[in-house]
């Protein structure tokens, strides 16, 4: 395939990730196009692009960004060469990737076939099993009736987790410790999955107690070359949603790191992976890894990997979508040995949520917005300025702080200092809570597992 240089890229997204994409493009000399919903009329991302156009008038805040035909029409009219979907919205929608291809526009991400095989948790588990990678014991197919669920429960024993095949962002998941909870969980997970993903299919897995969440960043070009960028540790979660992520993991010995990266590569190779993706695993208390899912897109926490590998992942996504080989000078990765780990990075997700009120999202006008800066601080913000409106229409992520340094100790000190330096008034934020987490002895000892936040309610004060 010949290389096709992009002149103009559209981000089919909003907020911080749209801005992240525009920055990557601008550095490469590529023009940028933003789209925005009615509700995002004065959102920052539209001002950060060279051109910006409204989409989805009258469709509502979310559906505006899902208006495939309108987005593609606009992209064609404005002579866009490629569309970057970011995360969420259309990023895992194989129909959108197909529609881009039909319109002669490059979709910056994996092929629709890969999305279909890996985007659904049940079919991704099948790929892992086929590739010889261990998965958490679970059902091979979605559950059709209560009886099937009870048979699995008898075999595997409680606790069990009910998961939506199409799930993401911690939605459509229920932990069941008794038969009653299982039967209730099946119903409520299915209806949540139907409402959130338009797909009610759920399956069951054995629920591992207090595991760590370890994920591997992968990237493939369109010529069959695939590399990994080592792991991230995303064990610091609240209700199964990531709050603080880091790279590398403090919990892995060298051979475990090698082992988990090899497993991720096996899965990537099994499907001929193209573009950026993440292969997620749980690490149990006995040191065993189990594959859980794949995310065939860029992730929120990609920044920590960028800081410790000194590789601009969004720019590499663009280059491989242009048809470049990883080994081309534009990317400069001749083989796995070219990717090195240096130092330590931690990311905090600053949200407009009130920790003292069960993390309920808060809304309103930001009155004061003073950020941190200085050595070792990277900020990726969507709506950060005094006067900005925080609305109930979208997720509550306000800014991502990535702190980096030579060691975990340096990076965590920098993160603490950065959190202290922030001043946000007008909306409630989780900054105080994040400070409590990153100064906690368990955090500083590097021993947090996925139960850490939920089992320490004092962190919310």
Give the active site residues: 297
Q: For residue 42, give both structure tokens.
A: 């004065």
Q: Which is nearer to ligand ADP, 34 or 244 (CB)?
A: 244
CA distance 390 to 15: 11
CA distance 431 to 355: 9
Q: Does the footprint of ligand ADP cover residue 448 (CB under 6 A)?
A: no
CA distance 49 to 68: 20
Q: Does the footprint of ligand ADP cover residue 245 (CB under 6 A)?
A: no
Q: Which stretch binds ligand ADP (CB under 6 A): 28-36, 47-55, 125-133, 162-170?
A: 162-170
Element (H, E) at 44: helix 44-47
Asked whether residue 121 is marked as a ligand-binding residue, the answer is yes
Closest CB 355 distance from ligand ADP, rounded Å? 19
Closest CB 212 distance from ligand ADP, rounded Å? 9
Q: Which stretch binds ligand ADP (CB under 6 A): 62-70, 205-213, 220-228, 426-434?
A: 205-213
Residue from 208, 321, 403, 448 in contact with ligand ADP (CB under 6 A): 208
Q: Does the footprint of ligand ADP cover residue 109 (CB under 6 A)?
A: no
Give the total of residues touching ligand ADP (CB under 6 A): 19
Q: Does the footprint of ligand ADP cover residue 398 (CB under 6 A)?
A: no
Neighbours of 67 (CB within 10 A): 19
Q: Which is nearer to ligand ADP, 31 or 213 (CB)?
A: 213
Residue from 207, 230, 359, 408 in contact with ligand ADP (CB under 6 A): 207
Q: For residue 448, give both structure tokens.
A: 């947090």
Element (H, E) at 236: strand 226-238
Q: For residue 363, give both structure tokens.
A: 């809304």
Length of the chain: 461
Q: For residue 20, give both structure tokens.
A: 């992240």
Burial-class residue 371 by CB neighbours within 10 Å (0-12, 13-18, 19+): middle
Q: Which is nearer to ligand ADP, 191 or 365 (CB)?
A: 191
Q: Which residue shows structure tokens 């948790």?
A: 121
Asked whether residue 84 is marked as a ligand-binding residue, the answer is no
Q: Which is nearer to ligand ADP, 37 or 305 (CB)?
A: 305
Burial-class residue 419 by CB neighbours within 10 Å (0-12, 13-18, 19+): buried
Q: For residue 126, give both structure tokens.
A: 């099948």
Q: Does the footprint of ligand ADP cover residue 167 (CB under 6 A)?
A: yes
Could you list the beta-strand ranges (E) of 96-152.
106-107
**360-361 and 353-354 as β-strands: parallel, antiparallel, unpaired?**
antiparallel
Closest CB 272 distance from ligand ADP, rounded Å? 23
Spatial neighbors of 253 by CB under 8 A, at least 6 apart, are: none
Q: Which is nearer to ligand ADP, 225 or 295 (CB)?
A: 295
Q: Which stretch binds ligand ADP (CB under 6 A): 58-66, 149-157, 164-172, 271-279?
A: 164-172
Q: Does the footprint of ligand ADP cover residue 88 (CB under 6 A)?
A: no
Q: Which stretch binds ligand ADP (CB under 6 A): 20-28, 143-151, 206-214, 349-357?
A: 206-214
Q: Which is nearer to ligand ADP, 88 or 376 (CB)?
A: 88
Residues within the interface to ligand ADP (CB under 6 A): 136, 161, 167-170, 173, 205, 207-208, 211, 213, 237, 240, 280, 282, 292-293, 450
């Amino acid at each position: 395939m010949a290389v096709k240089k992009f002149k103009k890229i559209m981000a089919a997204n909003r907020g911080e990730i749209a801005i992240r994409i525009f920055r990557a493009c601008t550095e490469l000399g590529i023009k940028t196009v933003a789209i925005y919903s009615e509700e995002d009329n004065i959102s920052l991302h539209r001002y950060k692009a060279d051109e910006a156009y409204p989409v989805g008038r009258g469709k509502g805040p979310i559906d505006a960004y899902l208006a495939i035909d309108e987005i593609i029409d606009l992209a064609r009219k404005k002579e866009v060469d490629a569309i970057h979907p970011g995360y969420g919205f259309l990023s895992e929608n194989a129909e959108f990737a197909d529609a881009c291809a039909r319109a002669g526009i490059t979709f910056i991400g994996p092929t629709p076939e890969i999305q279909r095989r890996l985007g659904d948790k049940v079919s991704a588990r099948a790929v892992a099993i086929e590739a010889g990678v261990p998965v958490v014991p679970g059902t091979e197919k979605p559950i059709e009736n209560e009886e099937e669920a009870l048979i699995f429960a008898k075999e595997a024993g409680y606790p069990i987790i009910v998961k939506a095949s199409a799930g993401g962002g911690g939605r459509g998941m229920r932990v069941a410790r008794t038969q009653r909870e299982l039967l209730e969980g099946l119903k409520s997970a299915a209806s949540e999955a139907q409402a959130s993903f338009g797909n009610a299919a759920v399956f069951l897995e054995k629920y591992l107690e207090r595991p760590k969440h370890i994920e591997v960043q992968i990237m493939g070009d369109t010529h069959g070359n695939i590399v990994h960028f080592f792991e991230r540790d995303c064990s610091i979660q609240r209700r199964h949603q990531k709050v603080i992520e880091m790279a590398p993991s403090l919990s892995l010995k060298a051979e475990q790191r090698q082992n988990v990266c090899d497993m991720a590569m096996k899965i990537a190779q099994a499907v001929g992976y193209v573009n950026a993706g993440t292969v997620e695993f749980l690490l149990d208390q006995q040191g065993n890894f189990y594959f859980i899912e794949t995310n065939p897109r860029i992730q929120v926490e990609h920044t920590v990997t960028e800081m410790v590998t000194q590789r601009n992942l969004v720019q590499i996504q663009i280059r491989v979508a242009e048809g470049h080989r990883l080994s081309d000078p534009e990317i400069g990765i001749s083989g796995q040995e070219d990717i090195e780990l240096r130092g330590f990075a931690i990311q905090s997700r600053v949200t407009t949520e009130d920790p003292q009120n069960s993390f309920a999202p808060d809304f309103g006008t930001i009155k004061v917005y003073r950020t941190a800066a200085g050595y070792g601080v990277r900020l990726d913000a969507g709506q950060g300025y005094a006067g900005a409106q925080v609305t109930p229409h979208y997720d509550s992520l306000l800014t991502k702080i990535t702190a980096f340094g030579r060691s975990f100790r340096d990076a965590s000190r920098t993160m603490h200092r950065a959190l202290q330096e922030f001043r946000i008034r007008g909306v409630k934020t989780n900054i105080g809570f994040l400070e409590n987490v990153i100064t906690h002895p368990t955090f500083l000892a590097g021993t947090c597992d996925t139960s850490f936040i939920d089992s320490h309610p004092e962190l919310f004060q």
